[in-house]
Amino acid sequence: MFSTSTQDLYITYVDRMQKIADIRYAAAVLEWDQETYLPPKGATARSRQLASLSEIAHEWLIAPDLGDLMQELMQRGDLQEDERRNVELSLEDFNKQKKFSPAFIRRLSEASSRSFHSWIQARAANSFAIFKDDLHQLVDLKKEEAEMAGYEGHPYNALLDNFEKGCTTTLLDHVFGTIRIPLKDILDRIALRPQVDDSFLHKHFPRNLQWNFGLDIIRQLGFDFSAGRQDISEHPFTTSFNARDVRITTRIDENNFNHMTWSCIHETGHALYEQGLPPQYYGLPLGEFASLSIHESQSRLWENNVGRSLAWWRTVYPRLQAIFPQPFGGVSAELFYDAINKVAPSLIRTEADEVSYHFHVMIRYELEKRLIDGSLDVGDIPRWWKENYAAWLGVDVPDDKHGCLQDVHWSHGSFGYFPTYSLGSFYAAQFYETAENQDVNINRSIQDGNTNPLLDWLRNNIHRHGRRYTSEQLCQIATGKGLDIQHFLDYLLKKYVIIYDF
Amino acid sequence: MFSTSTQDLYITYVDRMQKIADIRYAAAVLEWDQETYLPPKGATARSRQLASLSEIAHEWLIAPDLGDLMQELMQRGDLQEDERRNVELSLEDFNKQKKFSPAFIRRLSEASSRSFHSWIQARAANSFAIFKDDLHQLVDLKKEEAEMAGYEGHPYNALLDNFEKGCTTTLLDHVFGTIRIPLKDILDRIALRPQVDDSFLHKHFPRNLQWNFGLDIIRQLGFDFSAGRQDISEHPFTTSFNARDVRITTRIDENNFNHMTWSCIHETGHALYEQGLPPQYYGLPLGEFASLSIHESQSRLWENNVGRSLAWWRTVYPRLQAIFPQPFGGVSAELFYDAINKVAPSLIRTEADEVSYHFHVMIRYELEKRLIDGSLDVGDIPRWWKENYAAWLGVDVPDDKHGCLQDVHWSHGSFGYFPTYSLGSFYAAQFYETAENQDVNINRSIQDGNTNPLLDWLRNNIHRHGRRYTSEQLCQIATGKGLDIQHFLDYLLKKYVIIYDF
């Protein structure tokens, strides 16, 4: 059947994968447009255009002859190392995706579409009841998906694997179990100290000045504007149509300095990763990001380890003061630094500080795990949510909008996604500490406002590997050991002991 | 083979056509993005993404079983009239497209891609020589295309048919032959009269004020911003992703009032047509525009018959004066009207007035006809261009950039496109005169700044028919007779006899 040379077979494989990528990226352009510029009445046709593109991409990806081709390639002895790794990973995707029939994919996609709309309505009406039935159906479909995909141990593992290959409840129970108490301890200690003043972050910051400041810092952090752009959307996000066309978005709140600034830095972190992926592997696994937790490690490293550090603001803050003499003219860099690092447990995950953030994630993780194994009923979510927010964060959830309706993820059918946010922070701390230790120039340069040495380290140690390694392998290679949350705890303690003087 | 009911067969046909439309419209989104927001380095991947989408659309459109399905449907006696017309037109497209092998389509697409880049370079270097070889190859391919497509009479007919079904050199020779002398006569008569002053249109008009004025008039003309939007691009254009998502673009020259204003009105004309197509026929011929000349009739009717009329500016001009007290404060509506209708033969088609414009088209038509039948060599284009611009417009072509390199069309492989521009103007005059005669309210309302009655007439007489009729049939139905260029000549004479007092 395959008398062709290995090189010709490989070229055929590449050609097919790149054509699938063309369709996936075309869909990504349509999605980007949907979030940024789509006129309201265009939504209906856009949904079906996206559905058709997904259908083609899925159909092509699970084509039996593509599977045969890859099987054959894996048996050839003369594939180069990179080539072999590409085929191996594509074959993994193939074997995973082919478990789902087109009919099931369509049911899932339709259920998500319905759920998204009822979630929007539920939020507007501030009533979980409106979302409940559709969410119930989605949870059932995700259980079905877990059974089709197969798993060892907990059925939730099958869903975790969608976002983080090899991630399991055993692993997460251990990580979260280890960090929960020390984190709570930091929160409790801070609660006993006088609160820092961040009132000057909530003055009036004209839209246009914020926008220009955002573009300025994005450029300074190394984002290549000839290979990407920033636009406005309701929820900030990053998307990529190849390493040479990476789009980020932000939102601007004229009465809150935090929203735009840290969304710009966060999304720039994602974007620097995408712009740093090897472009020669367009459409192939080695040209893709390693995992969602590694992706998130990049956004959080820039957002927090750099963007919430005093070192970096030393050179940026004077520029900021020049742009907003009111209110920053009379505020020192140190007070500004304290304010942007204020810790105060609250209701909304996306607005949480670096300590309490992970309780938002842990609560969602525990909740999803229970939904998928059936030990918690969808109808009990609001009660469970309220109880856990009271227990862990000491806050009272007043209604569903400030509670279990705040995130879009479930309505998209994304169960198993949240944990990658916390893993991202943990990896970020470990990467950052390693980078600083390996190259003394990194810290020194940041104090001069130059983040290029840091970016170089990330390009060399993380970005250029694409999807070659799993998160854990990558962590091992880049830092000499697997994930160790002590780095994150050390980072927090070092920062907050000074700010809150405990 | 087809034991299914007619209704089920028809549903299958609709489903397949709509999926093809999904792909075509997805490509249109990618093209829109390419012209508006694409970062420079994104161009390479974008080309291949677009090529993959075109390939799928073409492959699906010429699928033999789709052809069989449509053949079978045409033989059923129980199709409703609209259904039959849809299938009939789709089958026409199928029979035309299947003449071209995927390999030929790819060769054409690659040659166009190459030509576009060498055209860009040639323009930058102001040298036709750089474009010549690629253009030569494209002309050869278009000759080949004509032979594959088949034709009666002149081979150019096969290419004209791509843009205007049934259009032939016989028809165009007759139309242009009839209008050439009277048009030249108007030009000559105007040349003997004192020139109008339009210097105040070339003052400084700040970008932002122009942009807002543009949005204002677009809205007033009836463009639905919940079903479309306007953005900036280098060359203004209109595109549609369905009747509920129609995008227009404009460009702003701060030192020339004309550019943005009439591009806004022109593109709005195209967009009103697209927004007026029946949305229930998404992806089907009855949901598409009739022809390029009819499309152009809509843009030119709004641009010229409305947008260059004194009646319409009577109510809009005071607003314009309020926005730009300098220079318009001291200029009467009458003088403004004279200025925006200034006639002066010049080198650039897109900047030409309503009279000399058609010589630009006729020169290109004659030239293309000769290229395709081989009586003119590609190398002789600059000389031929210079001679004909001197003979018909009395202008001296100083270089290629202001001559045969000015239009993008050839570099896209579009031969046979230009004539539809003139036909559009001629149809526009006939439609407008008919509309005014049929409904006295139209003219009266325009004087009050209300163009809704005119839009209603166009919706009822042109837009709602989609692609049901050919240009000539539609003209017959809407105006009671086929194209009669006397309407256009009457319109010009009526206007310019007053402005130039001859």
Count the Cβ atoms, other than its own, within 10 Å of residue A174. Answer: 12
Q: Are B403 and B347 in contact (CB under 8 A)?
A: yes
Q: Are B146 and B372 in contact (CB under 8 A)?
A: yes
Which residues from A are below 8 Å from B229, CB to CB?
Answer: 37, 39
What average pLDDT does range A436-457 have in this prediction?
Answer: 96
Chain B CA closest to residue A27: B26
What tokens appear for B470 in the block? 């050919």
Q: Are B2 and B9 in contact (CB under 8 A)?
A: yes
Q: From CA B129, how far away is CA B284, in angstroms rounded?
A: 43
Distance to chain B for A300, nearest Cα, Å: 25
Q: Which of B16, B19, B49, B275 has the highest number of chain A CBs within 10 A, making it the mutation to test binding with A?
A: B49
B→A interface, C-beta within 8 Å: 18-19, 22-23, 25-27, 29-30, 33, 37-42, 44-46, 48-49, 51-53, 56, 224-229, 231, 241-242, 244-245, 282
Could you tell me which residues come within 8 angstroms of residue B221 by beta carbon, excluding any fewer than 6 positions away? B265, B268, B272, B302, B306, B451, B455
Report pLDDT digits (tens) over A318-372. Answer: 999 999 999 999 999 999 999 999 999 999 999 999 999 999 999 999 999 999 9
Distance to chain B for A22, nearest Cα, Å: 5
Cα dihedral across residues A488, A492, A493, A494: positive or negative? positive
Q: Which among A39, A48, A241 has CB closest to B22? A: A48
For residue A112, name the pLDDT band (cuts at 50, 70, 90): confident
Indicate the range of A42-51, A70-79, B120-129 predicted with least confidence.
A42-51
- Omega within 30 of 0 (cis) for the link into A453: no
What average pLDDT does range A130-151 have in this prediction?
Answer: 96
Q: From CA A267, how far away is CA A233, in angstroms rounded?
A: 12
CB contact under 8 A, A29 and B25: no
- Omega within 30 of 0 (cis) for the link into B327: yes
Q: From CA A14, how far away is CA A36, in angstroms rounded?
A: 32
Strand pairing category for A238-240 and A246-250: antiparallel
CB contact under 8 A, B22 and A49: yes
Of B83, B145, B164, B267, catalytic? B267
CB contact under 8 A, A244 and B42: yes
Which residues from A are below 8 Å from B41, CB to CB?
Answer: 224, 226-227, 244-245
CB contact under 8 A, B244 and A38: no
Chain A CA closest to residue B37: A229
Q: How far is C-alpha B205 from the geometric centre of its chain's CA atoms? A: 28
CB contact under 8 A, B45 and A282: yes
Burial B1-27 (b: 16+ CB within 10 A, else e): eeeeebeebbebbbebbbbbbbbbbbb
Strand pairing category for B228-232 and A238-240: unpaired
The reported pLDDT for the residue numbered B498 is: 96
Q: Which among A25, A33, A56 has CB closest to B56? A: A56
CB contact under 8 A, A46 and B241: yes
Q: From CA A327, how far away is CA A202, in angstroms rounded?
A: 9
Q: Is B267 a catalytic residue?
A: yes
Q: From CA A360, how far away is CA A347, in angstroms rounded?
A: 8
CB contact under 8 A, B241 and A25: no
Q: How far is C-alpha A368 from the geometric centre of its chain's CA atoms? A: 18
What tokens appear for B74 in the block? 């045409």
For residue A495, name the pLDDT band (cuts at 50, 70, 90): very high
Report pLDDT digits (tens) over B350-403. Answer: 999 999 999 999 999 999 999 999 999 999 999 999 999 999 999 999 999 999
Residue A22 has pLDDT above 70, yes or no: yes
What average pLDDT does range A31-53 have in this prediction?
Answer: 92
Q: From CA A97, how far away is CA A20, in angstroms rounded?
A: 14
Which residues from B are below 8 Å from A215, CB to CB?
Answer: none
What tokens appear for B453 in the block? 């009655």
For residue A460, name the pLDDT band (cuts at 50, 70, 90): very high
Biggest CA–CA distance in chain B, Å, is: 77
CB contact under 8 A, B53 and A228: no
CB contact under 8 A, B48 and A22: yes
Distance to chain A for B173, nearest Cα, Å: 42
Q: From CA A356, how far away is CA A325, in angstroms rounded?
A: 31
Q: State whether ipTM is beyond 0.90.
A: yes
Q: From CA B4, how far away is CA B19, in angstroms rounded?
A: 21
Which residues from B are below 8 Å from A41, CB to CB?
Answer: 224, 226-227, 244-245
Q: From CA A39, how far away is CA B102, in angstroms rounded?
A: 35
Residue A107 has pLDDT above 90, yes or no: no
Which residues from B are below 8 Å from A248, CB to CB?
Answer: none
Q: Which among A19, A45, A227 has CB closest to B244? A: A45
Chain B CA closest to residue A229: B39
Q: Are A356 and A346 in contact (CB under 8 A)?
A: yes
What tokens appear for A250 in the block? 């932000």
For residue A116, name the pLDDT band (cuts at 50, 70, 90): confident
Which residues from A are below 8 Å from B34, CB to CB?
Answer: none
Q: Which residue has the tokens 């050609």?
A: A15
Report pLDDT digits (tens) over B255-274. Answer: 999 999 999 999 999 999 99
Q: Which of B38, B41, B232, B239 has the highest number of chain A CBs within 10 A, making it the mutation to test binding with A?
A: B41
Which residues from A are below 8 Å from B23, CB to CB?
Answer: 52-53, 56
Summarize chain A as % helix, strand, coil (round to 5).
70, 5, 25
CB contact under 8 A, B29 and A27: no
Q: From CA A268, how far away is CA A303, in angstroms rounded?
A: 9
Distance to chain A for B21, nearest Cα, Å: 8
User: What share of chain A has pLDDT > 90, as a percent?
Assistant: 93
Chain A CA closest to residue B240: A42
Burial B126-148 (b: 16+ CB within 10 A, else e): ebbebbbebbeebbebbbebbee
For residue A187, name the pLDDT band (cuts at 50, 70, 90): very high
CB contact under 8 A, A226 and B52: no
CB contact under 8 A, B39 and A228: yes
Q: Are B252 and B201 in contact (CB under 8 A)?
A: no
Report pLDDT digits (tens) over A238-268. Answer: 999 999 999 999 999 999 999 999 999 999 9
The reported pLDDT for the residue numbered A106 is: 80
The reported pLDDT for the residue numbered A2 is: 64
The reported pLDDT for the residue numbered A1 is: 54
Q: Which of A15, A49, A223, A284 has the highest number of chain B CBs within 10 A, making it the mutation to test binding with B?
A: A49
The reported pLDDT for the residue numbered A398 is: 97
Q: From CA A442, how far away is CA A457, in angstroms rounded?
A: 9
Residue A13 has pLDDT above 90, yes or no: yes
* Residue A10, amino acid: Y
DSSP assignment letter at B301: I
Q: Which residues pair with A238 in a beta bridge?
A: A248
* DSSP annotation string for B71-119: HHHHH-TT--HHHHHHHHHHHHHHHHHTTS-HHHHHHHHHHHHHHHHHH
Report pLDDT digits (tens) over A473-493. Answer: 999 999 999 999 999 999 999
Residue A499 has pLDDT above 70, yes or no: yes
Q: What is the pTM of this model?
A: 0.95
CB contact under 8 A, B53 and A26: yes
What tokens appear for B493 in the block? 């004479």
Of A164, A267, A296, A303, catalytic? A267
Over chain A, what is the mean pLDDT? 96
Q: Which of B14, B48, B223 has the highest number of chain A CBs within 10 A, making it the mutation to test binding with A?
A: B48
Adjacency order of strands within the sheet including B228-232: B228-232, B246-250, B238-240
CB contact under 8 A, B26 and A26: yes
Residues of chain B with pLDDT under 50: none
Residue A304 has pLDDT above 60, yes or no: yes
Q: Which among B33, B51, B226 has CB closest to A29? A: B33
What tokens appear for A395 in the block? 């806050």
CB contact under 8 A, A245 and B46: yes
CB contact under 8 A, A38 and B228: no
Which residues from A are below 8 Å from B18, CB to CB?
Answer: 48
* Residue A240, amino acid: S
Q: Which of B14, B29, B226 has the highest number of chain A CBs within 10 A, making it the mutation to test binding with A?
A: B29
Which residues from B are below 8 Å from A274, CB to CB?
Answer: none
Q: Could you tell me how many CB contacts below 8 A there are between chain A and chain B? A: 108
Distances (CA, A) of B21 to A52, A488, B28, B51, B456: 10, 51, 10, 16, 27
CB contact under 8 A, B40 and A231: no
Distance to chain A for B411, nearest Cα, Å: 24
Q: From CA A193, how far away is CA A131, in angstroms rounded?
A: 40
The reported pLDDT for the residue numbered B4 is: 86
Distance to chain A for B42, nearest Cα, Å: 5
Q: Are B410 and B115 in contact (CB under 8 A)?
A: yes
Which residues from A are below 8 Å from B49, CB to CB?
Answer: 22, 25-26, 29, 241
